[in-house]
C-alpha cells in the first residue's frame, strides 16, 4: 500500500518528463523501439536523454556511455546510502533490486527507514516496478504523440530545458557552480573542434575546475 | 551499431553503477577524492549538454529568435531554481519549442 502511495506521489513528474522524453526521442534517429525499451532498461531519464542526444549527434560509444554514466554519477552515492538495507538480502534481490535505484525510489525509501528484510524487499520491488510501469507508459505515450506533431527544429530546446531543471538544484555549492560555468564555456568551443567529443571535453574541464576550486577552499 | 545496442550498453553501465556499493565495494571504501569528483560530475555534464545543445540548435537562427530562446531558457532556469520541479521544466521547454517553431520561425 505504501509502495502504491509513493508511486502515485511521483507520477505527475514522471508523466511530464517521460512524455517529453518520448517526443524528443521520436524526433531522433534512435528508433521508437529502442527509445521505448530504453525506458525500463536504462531506468534513468537523464542518462537516456544524454545518450539519445549524443547518439543523434553522431558521438562514439565511449563518449555516449561516459556521458550517461557521468550524468548518473549520483547513483553511486545512492548505492552507498542504500547498501546497508541491501546487505542482508538474498543475492537475487541485490542484483535485480539495484536496477531500481533512481532519484524517486531512493527518496521514497529514505522516507520509510523502518522497513527491512522481506518487508523492504516487497516495498522496494513495488515502488521500483510501479515507477518503471508509469515511466515506460509515459515515454511510450510521447513516442506515439511525437510523429503527429508538426516539424519542430527547436524541439532539442525541450531537452535543454530538462537538463536545466536537473542542473539548477546542483548549483548551490560554489564548486558546483564553477564546474558548470567552465563546462558550459568549454563544451560549445570543443564541439566546434571535435563535434563528437565536445560534451565530454566540457565535462572534464568542469570537473577539473570544481576539484581545483575545492582545493582552494579553506577546510572547515 | 544501432540505437538499441547503444542503449543496452548504457543500461549495463548504469546497472553496474547501481551495483557498485551493494555488491562490489563496501560503502565505507569510497575514497574522498572520488566522492568529490562525483559531486562535480553531474553539474559539469549537464551544463556541457545544455550549452552544446543550445548552440547547436540555434546556430542558424535569426538574432531575434536567439534572444527569445535564450530569454525563455533563462526564465526556465529561474523557475527550476525556485520550484525544483522537473515537470515544470519539461512543460516550459516543450512550450518554448512550440512557441519558436509555430509562431516565430514560420
What are the tens digits of pLDDT across the range A85-133? Answer: 998 899 999 999 999 998 888 878 877 888 888 999 999 999 999 999 9
Q: Check CB contact under 8 Å for B84 and A155.
A: no
State percent of chain A over pLDDT 70: 98
Where do the DSSP E strands lie in A56-208?
none
pLDDT reported for residue A218: 65
Q: Check CB contact under 8 Å for B44 and A150.
A: no
- What stretch of H or E contains B63? helix B63-83
pLDDT reported for residue B27: 66
Q: Which residues of B touch A188 (CB under 8 A)?
A: 51-52, 55-56
Q: Is A35 on the interface with B (CB under 8 A)?
A: yes
Which residue is closest to B93 within chain A, CA to CA?
A158
Q: Check CB contact under 8 Å for A74 and B73.
A: no
Sign of the CA dihedral running A148, A34, A201, B38: positive
Q: Is A161 on the interface with B (CB under 8 A)?
A: yes
Residue range A21-48: mean pLDDT, rounded: 91
pLDDT reported for residue B1: 64
3-state secondary structure of A72: coil
Is the pLDDT at B76 greater than 60, yes or no? yes
Is the pLDDT at B41 greater than 70, yes or no? yes
| Residues B97, A161: Cα–Cα separation, whole Å | 10
Residue whose grid cell is 517526443: A23
Residue range A172-181: mean pLDDT, rounded: 92
Residue A57's φ and ψ, nearest 5 degrees, are -90, 5
- ipTM, interface predicted TM-score of the complex: 0.82
pLDDT reported for residue A69: 87
Please tell me whether the overall predicted TM-score, pTM, comes out greater than 0.80 for this model.
no
Q: What is the dihedral of CA A144, A148, A149, A151, to 10 degrees?
A: 110
| Residues A77, B51: Cα–Cα separation, whole Å | 26
Is the pLDDT at A169 greater than 90, yes or no? no
Scan residues 11-50 of B and list those with Cβ closer than 8 Å to A: 11, 13-15, 17-23, 26-27, 30, 35-50
pLDDT reported for residue B106: 66
Q: Which residues of B touch A27 (CB under 8 A)?
A: none
Do residues A98 and B20 touch, judged by C-beta distance below 8 A? no
Residue range B47-61: mean pLDDT, rounded: 88
CA angle A170, A171, A173 (to 5 degrees): 100
pLDDT digits (tens, 9 = 90+) for A37-67: 999 999 998 899 889 988 988 888 888 998 8
Cα→Cα distances B34→A123, B39, B40, Å = 31, 9, 10
pLDDT reported for residue A182: 97
Confidence band (pLDDT; 50, 70, 90) for B59?
confident
Amino acid at each position: 500500500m505504501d509502495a502504491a502511495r509513493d508511486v502515485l506521489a511521483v507520477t505527475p513528474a514522471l508523466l511530464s518528463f517521460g512524455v517529453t522524453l518520448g517526443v524528443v526521442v521520436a524526433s531522433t534517429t534512435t528508433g521508437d523501439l529502442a527509445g521505448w525499451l530504453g525506458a525500463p532498461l536504462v531506468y534513468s531519464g537523464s542518462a537516456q536523454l544524454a545518450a539519445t542526444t549524443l547518439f543523434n549527434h553522431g558521438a562514439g560509444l565511449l563518449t555516449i556511455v561516459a556521458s550517461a554514466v557521468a550524468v548518473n554519477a549520483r547513483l553511486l552515492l545512492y548505492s552507498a546510502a542504500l547498501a546497508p538495507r541491501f546487505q542482508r538480502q538474498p543475492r537475487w534481490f541485490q542484483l535485480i533490486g539495484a536496477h531500481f535505484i533512481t532519484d524517486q525510489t531512493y527518496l521514497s525509501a529514505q522516507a520509510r527507514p523502518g522497513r527491512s528484510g522481506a518487508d523492504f524487499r516487497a516495498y522496494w520491488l513495488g515502488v521500483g516496478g510501479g515507477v518503471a510501469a508509469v515511466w515506460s507508459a509515459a515515454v511510450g505515450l510521447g513516442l506515439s504523440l511525437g510523429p503527429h506533431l508538426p516539424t519542430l527544429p527547436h524541439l532539442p530546446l525541450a531537452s535543454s530545458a530538462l537538463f536545466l531543471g536537473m542542473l539548477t538544484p546542483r548549483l548551490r555549492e560554489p564548486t558546483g557552480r564553477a564546474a558548470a560555468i567552465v563546462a558550459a564555456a568549454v563544451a560549445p568551443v570543443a564541439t566546434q573542434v571535435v563535434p563528437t567529443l565536445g560534451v565530454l571535453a566540457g565535462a572534464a574541464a568542469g570537473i577539473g575546475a570544481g576539484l581545483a576550486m575545492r582545493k582552494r577552499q579553506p577546510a572547515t | 551499431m544501432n540505437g538499441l545496442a547503444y542503449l543496452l550498453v548504457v543500461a549495463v553501465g548504469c546497472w553496474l553503477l547501481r551495483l557498485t556499493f551493494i555488491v562490489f565495494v563496501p560503502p565505507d571504501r569510497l575514497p574522498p577524492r572520488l566522492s568529490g569528483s562525483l559531486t562535480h560530475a553531474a553539474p559539469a555534464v549537464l551544463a556541457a549538454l545544455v550549452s552544446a545543445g543550445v548552440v547547436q540548435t540555434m546556430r542558424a537562427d535569426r538574432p531575434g529568435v536567439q534572444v527569445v530562446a535564450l530569454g525563455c531558457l533563462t526564465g526556465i532556469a529561474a523557475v527550476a531554481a525556485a520550484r525544483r520541479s522537473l515537470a515544470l521544466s519539461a512543460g516550459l521547454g516543450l512550450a518554448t519549442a512550440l512557441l519558436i517553431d509555430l509562431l516565430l520561425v514560420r
